[in-house]
Amino acid sequence: MHSYPIMNLAEEIYRLRKLVNWTQGELANETGFSIRSINSWETGKIEPKLRSFKEIERVCLLEQAKRANSATHTQSRKPSDATQHTLPTMDNQPHRSGNNPAIGDIEKGSVEVGVYAFAGAGGPIELFEYDPIQTIDIPKHWLKPNMQSVLIRGRSMEPTIRDGAVVGVDTDSKQVVSGELYAIWLEYEGAVVKRLYIERDLVRVCSDNPAFKEMQITHDDINGDTFILGKMCWLMQSY
């Protein structure tokens, strides 16, 4: 792989993404980074870590090579091969039926995704740490365009969510429904999952573990992009 000056990383990420004709959401799905990170890096708002850029470069160049090899294989097939049907193989990247017609109706089963740690410090610019800490297999129908898999640490949401569980956070879903679970940003804790209850004069921010006290905030506090970071859309844990 090539190396590039830091000042050109934003342009290079854009070039690599266009090389394989992916949207920012598709690049986020393929690399495991959040779409917020991809957008911030491309626009130069945030400078990516070099290892994050290298992962984007690796994934894009690998996809380009796969497509080139597939095109070469298709052109070199013998006529007799046309009657042989095989299912596409599963690799370590999520497949999207919209971009891979060969999958079509067999878009079932599981897919491997990166699991991230919640960002626990700084500001609510980033919901997740930059690099995945592990991978898991989830059902393909759980995937959403701007979903991230997050490792939960702590016992504030027990017994609903146990320490060490993995949850999916849909960062496109920020409309609050009373009683549902959301990833939110607390000034002194960072990103956490809490249950929100909407009442006439206030919003209650609650832990499912009764040993943890609830918070009360105003309706104005939940508006904007700095408090509600996304809705929890699935949970995976052992009992």
Domain boundary pick from 48, 64, 79:
79
Same structural domain for residues 235 and 186?
A: yes
Amino acid at the residue 129: E
Alpha carbons 153 and 238: distance in angstroms, whole number: 14
Range of the domain at 151: 102-239
pLDDT of residue 130: 56
Predicted local confidence at residue 197, as pLDDT? 95
pLDDT of amino acid 44: 83
Mean pLDDT of the chain: 76
Tell me: the pLDDT tens digits for 11-55? 888 888 888 888 888 888 888 888 888 888 888 888 888 888 888
Same domain for 110 and 34, yes or no, is no
Q: Is 122 exposed, middle or buried (0-12, 13-18, 19+ CB in 10 A)?
A: exposed
Asked if the model's pLDDT at residue 105 lies above 70, the reply is no
Q: Please say if the pLDDT value at position 121 is more than 50.
A: no
| Edge-to-edge strand list for the sheet holding 190-198 | 134-139, 110-117, 147-151, 166-170, 228-236, 181-186, 190-198, 203-206, 215-217
pLDDT at 87: 27
d(CA 19, CA 12): 10
Tell whether 85 is covered by a domain: no
Higher pLDDT, 1 or 135: 135
Residues 27 and 132 both lie in one domain = no
Please indicate, yes or no, whether residues 178 and 106 belong to a single structural domain of this protein. yes
For residue 79, whether the previous peptide bond is cis, meaning omega lies within 30 degrees of 0, is no
Task: Identify the pLDDT of residue 97.
Answer: 32
Tell whether 97 is covered by a domain: no
Report how many domains make up the chain: 2
What integer pLDDT is reported at residue 72 of this predicted model? Answer: 64
Show which of 38, 64, 79 is a domain's final residue: 79
Residue 166, domain CATH: 2.10.109.10
Statement to judge: residues 236 and 132 lie in one domain: yes
Residue 159 pLDDT more than 50? yes
Residue 87 belongs to a domain: no
Q: Is residue 92 part of a domain?
A: no
DSSP-based helix, strand, coil % in the chain, nearest 5: 30, 25, 45
The pLDDT tens digits of the residues spanning 178-232 come to 999 999 887 777 788 999 999 988 999 999 999 999 999 888 877 666 788 889 9
